């Protein structure tokens, strides 16, 4: 039986269809003092052997709600609890970057591990975060789907990643598209919203460019990359990512920078054109 966190209802429904498993009735509420209550009455009623909880932890509330759903399905007598984190919040805080800082990814992984038998997560920022879970989480690669929504008439396409860390995503997207060159920019981050991008070596003049990253958060990285590409007379510009967090004014920022379309997957529910990671997840369930 599939159980959806409030942040992942569309993906949970897609996964239920993909697996031909029922989708549990759930309730999300908040007490007058602000405390949350997430419940799965549908699980108590159906009494399944397995519950697959699908919840992107995009906020502190979503984290808490996931812990409650894990507890609720155990309380209902489920034997196996599988937790699917389409997007793992705090995943980028995978080290203590300054003395006295926490390893937040480890802290949340430990909490989530206590309520589950197995964890799946989609394209974590660093695969090493999977080892913070007990037992180790499985990283599901959905990058092969990023090419799906691209127009099929791109002119001499170039697939670029904003930094060396995302070049594999750009290569996977190019391979799935079937043709094109790949390269990456050099990125220096000065703050949460200030990013400096140095041009890649590829000549982009007159060519259509797809910039590929794992996450678009504030859009600072992508908009810097796009403005470099505009300065170099690139053709049509597209950005695609696995996790369209699209915080604050990211969509406006990217549109103003000259992006024709923003694509992402349904690991995070946002108003952009998406492809579903449900088939990739289903292969592991
Ligand atoms: C970091 O290295 C990630 O791969 C992304 O590039 C980053 O999270 C994007 O953040 P923003 O959209 O805020 O620049």
pLDDT in tens, 106-134: 999 999 999 999 999 999 999 999 999 99
Residue 38 pLDDT greater than 80, yes or no? yes
Q: Which pLDDT value is given to residue 246?
A: 96
Mutate to test the pocket of ligand 1, among 91, 123, 185, 215 (most ligand atoms within 8 A of CB): 215
Q: For the chain, which residues make up each domain, given as ranges?
A: 2-142, 144-266
* Token pair belonging to 259: 């992006």
Nearest residue to 206 (alpha-carbon basis) of 170, 155, 161, 260: 155
Q: What is the average pLDDT value for the chain, to the nearest integer?
A: 95
Confidence of residue 201 (pLDDT cuts 50, 70, 90): confident
Residue 281 pLDDT greater than 90, yes or no? yes
- The ligand 1 atom nearest the CA atom of 250: 12
Q: Which pLDDT value is given to residue 177?
A: 97
Single pTM value for the model: 0.94
Q: Which pLDDT value is given to residue 157?
A: 97
Domain 2-142 and domain 144-266 have a common topology: yes
User: Average pLDDT in the 198-208 region?
Assistant: 88
- 253 classed as catalytic: no
The torsion region of residue 225 among left (phi > 0), alpha (psi -120 to 50) and beta comes to alpha
CA 80 / ligand 1 centre spacing (Å): 35
Residue 202 pLDDT greater than 90, yes or no? no
Q: Residue 199: CB partners within 8 Å, gap ≥ 6?
A: 185, 228, 232
**Orientation angle between helical segments 104-113 and 60-75, nearest 10 degrees:** 20
CA 194 / ligand 1 centre spacing (Å): 11
Residue 225 pLDDT greater than 80, yes or no? yes
CA 58 / ligand 1 centre spacing (Å): 15
Q: What is the DSSP string of 94-143?
A: -S--STT---HHHHHHHHHHTT-SEEEEES-SSGGGGGGSSSPPEEE--G
Q: How far is CA 129 from CA 79, 86, 96, 175, 183, in A?
A: 26, 14, 13, 26, 26
> In this prediction, what percent of the chain has a pLDDT beyond 70?
100
Residue 156 pLDDT greater than 90, yes or no? yes
Nearest residue to 183 (alpha-carbon basis) of 209, 155, 206: 209
CATH topology for 144-266 is: Rossmann fold (3.40.50)
Residue 192 pLDDT greater than 80, yes or no? no
Q: Which pLDDT value is given to residue 218?
A: 94
The torsion region of residue 175 among left (phi > 0), alpha (psi -120 to 50) and beta comes to alpha
Ligand 1: which residues within 6 Å by Cβ? 125, 162, 165-166, 195, 213-221
The backbone torsions φ and ψ at residue 32, rounded to the nearest 5 degrees and listed phi first, read -60, -30
Confidence of residue 269 (pLDDT cuts 50, 70, 90): very high
Q: Which pLDDT value is given to residue 194?
A: 83
What CATH code would you report for 2-142? 3.40.50.2020
On whether the CB atoms of residues 269 and 7 are closer than 8 A, the answer is yes
189 labeled part of a ligand binding site: yes
Q: Which pLDDT value is given to residue 186?
A: 82
User: Average pLDDT in the 76-97 region?
Assistant: 97
Rg (CA), the chain: 20
């Amino acid at each position: 039986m599939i159980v959806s966190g409030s942040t992942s209802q569309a993906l949970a429904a897609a996964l239920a269809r993909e697996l031909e498993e029922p989708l549990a009735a759930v309730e999300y509420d908040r007490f007058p003092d602000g405390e949350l209550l997430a419940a799965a009455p549908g699980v108590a009623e159906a009494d399944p052997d397995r519950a697959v909880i699908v919840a992107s932890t995009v906020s502190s509330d979503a984290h808490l709600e996931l812990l409650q759903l894990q507890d609720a399905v155990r309380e209902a007598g489920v034997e196996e609890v599988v937790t699917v984190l389409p997007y793992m919040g705090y995943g980028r805080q995978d080290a203590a970057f300054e003395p006295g800082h926490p390893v937040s990814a480890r802290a949340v992984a430990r909490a989530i591990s206590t309520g589950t038998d197995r964890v799946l997560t989609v394209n974590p920022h660093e695969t090493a975060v999977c080892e913070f879970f007990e037992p180790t989480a499985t990283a599901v690669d959905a990058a092969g789907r990023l090419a799906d929504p691209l127009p099929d008439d791109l002119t001499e396409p170039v697939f670029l990643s904003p930094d060396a860390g995302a070049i594999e995503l750009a290569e996977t997207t190019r391979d799935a598209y079937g043709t094109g060159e790949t390269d990456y920019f050099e990125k220096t981050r000065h703050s949460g919203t200030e990013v400096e991008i140095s041009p890649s070596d590829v000549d982009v003049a007159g060519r259509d460019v797809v910039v590929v990253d794992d996450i678009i958060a504030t859009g600072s990285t992508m908009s810097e990359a796009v403005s470099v590409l505009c300065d170099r007379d690139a053709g049509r510009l597209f950005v695609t990512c696995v996790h369209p967090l699209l915080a604050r004014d990211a969509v406006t920022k990217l549109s103003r920078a000259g992006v024709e379309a923003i694509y992402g997957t349904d690991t995070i529910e946002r108003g952009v054109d998406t492809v579903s990671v449900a088939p990739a997840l289903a292969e592991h369930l």
